[in-house]
Amino acid sequence: MARNMKQAMIIDAALEVFREKGYANARMADIARRAGVSYGLVYHYFGSKEVLFDIIVESWWNDLYAMMEREIASDAPTRDKLVHIIAFFLDTYGSKPNLMSIFVSEVCRSSVYHTKEGLSRFLKFFNLCEQIMLQGQESGFLSKEIPPHHLTYIFYGAIETFISVMVLGKEPMTKKRHERAMNAILRVFTDGASSRAH
């Protein structure tokens, strides 16, 4: 599939360039050069810079939503669901660091703050997350004293910051890092950081 190959090369190049420079400073010429194609071809396939960015971003959101919906539908214990969500972020960082980097540095900020679509995508994710928190409260695993959207903020904030720090440090994902991040987030989120927690 020559077609798919070139498209894929452009996407990969775009991931790199968007990560390095950010959306605003990424130039279509850079992406074309990095992909080793003429920059007419980028337009041939993707129409515009915005569309190219959106395709990348959309694939991310769709994967995320799919995962979240799987978890919501599943009848696993809430604790496992939280584990799966954390793992999804950590694994994606491991397999597609560029994508994850773009997500934390561009998507979940600029795009969210300055476009309608960005905002609604973000809110949709929070909504899905909230459902899981609600399931947790109903199953008796999570305390009902804290509103589920607040639980969402704290849970998601923890994941995002862990990912951000790895992105900033360009740290490669390792088994150890994965395990430590997972443990820390899960432990503090469920039992708290206080020394009283057993």
Selection from DNA, a copy of itself, none that 141 binds (CB < 5 to 8 A by kind) is a copy of itself
- Within 136-195, the residues that bind a copy of itself by CB under 8 A are 136-137, 140-147, 150-151, 153-162, 165, 167-168, 180-181, 184-185, 187-195
* Nearest CA-CA partner of 32 in 12, 50, 51: 12
CB-CB contact of 66 with 31 (8 Å) = no
Q: What's the closest the beta carbon of residue 54 comes to DNA, in angstroms? A: 11
Selection from DNA, a copy of itself, none that 50 binds (CB < 5 to 8 A by kind) is DNA
CA–CA gap between residue 195 and residue 198 (Å, rounded): 8
Instruction: Show the site string, 86-125: x = touches a copy of itself by CB under 8 A, - = not.
Output: ---------------x--xxx-xxx-xxx----x--xx--
CB atoms within 10 A of CB 76: 11
What would the two tokens of residue 160 be? 């995002």
Q: What's the closest the beta carbon of residue 157 comes to a copy of itself, in angstroms? A: 3
Instruction: Show the site string, 32-61: x = touches DNA by CB under 7 A, - = not.
Output: -----xxxxx-xxx-xxxx-----------
CA angle 39, 107, 59 (to 5 degrees): 70
Q: What's the closest the beta carbon of residue 3 comes to DNA, in angstroms? A: 5
- 26 in contact with DNA (CB under 7 A): yes
CA–CA gap between residue 130 and residue 85 (Å, rounded): 13
**Rounded to the nearest 10 degrees, what angle do helices 49-73 and 116-138 cross at?**
10
CA–CA gap between residue 31 and residue 14 (Å, rounded): 5
Q: Is the dihedral of CA 147, 152, 153, 159 positive or negative?
A: positive
What would the two tokens of residue 1 be? 């599939």
Q: What's the closest the beta carbon of residue 150 comes to DNA, in angstroms? A: 38
What are the residues binding a copy of itself (CB under 8 A)? Answer: 21-25, 101, 104-106, 108-110, 112-114, 119, 122-123, 126, 136-137, 140-147, 150-151, 153-162, 165, 167-168, 180-181, 184-185, 187-197
What are the residues binding DNA (CB under 7 A)? Answer: 2-3, 6, 25-29, 37-41, 43-45, 47-50
